[in-house]
Amino acid sequence: MSKTIVALDFSSKEQVIDFLNQFEEPIYVKIGMELTYACGLDIVKTVKEMGHHIFLDLKLHDIPNTVKGGMKNLAKLGVDIVNVHCAGGIAMMKAAIDGLNEGAVDGKRPLCIGVTQLTSTSKEAMNEELGIPGDVIECVKHYAKNAKEAGLDGVVCSVHEAKAIHEVCGNDFLTVTPGIRLADDSKDDQKRVATPDYAKEQGCDYIVVGRSITKSQDPVSTYNEIESMMK
- CB nearer to ligand OMP: give 212 or 222: 212
| Residues making up the binding site for substrate | 9, 30, 57-66, 119, 181, 190, 210-211
Q: From CA 43, how far away is CA 52, in angstroms rounded? A: 12
Which residues carry out catalysis? 59
The phi and psi torsions of 130 (rounded to 5 degrees) equal -85, -15
- CB nearer to ligand OMP: give 18 or 65: 18
Supply the minimum distance, in Å, between the C-beta of residue 215 and ligand OMP: 8
Supply the minimum distance, in Å, between the C-beta of residue 95 and ligand OMP: 19
Supply the minimum distance, in Å, between the C-beta of residue 89 and ligand OMP: 18
- CB nearer to ligand OMP: give 65 or 215: 215
What is the largest distance, in Å, between two alpha-carbon atoms of the chain?
47
Instruction: Characterise 151 by phi-psi region: left (phi > 0), alpha (psi -120 to 50), beta (else).
Output: left
Contact residues toward ligand OMP (CB under 6 A) are: 7, 9, 30, 32, 57, 83, 115, 118-119, 156, 178-180, 190, 208-212
- CB nearer to ligand OMP: give 106 or 184: 184
Paired strand residues for 156: 115, 176
Supply the minimum distance, in Å, between the C-beta of residue 92 and ligand OMP: 16
| Residues making up the binding site | 9, 30, 57-66, 119, 181, 190, 210-211
Q: Which residue is nearest to ligand OMP (CB)?
A: 210
Q: Cα Rg for the chain, rounded, in angstroms?
A: 17
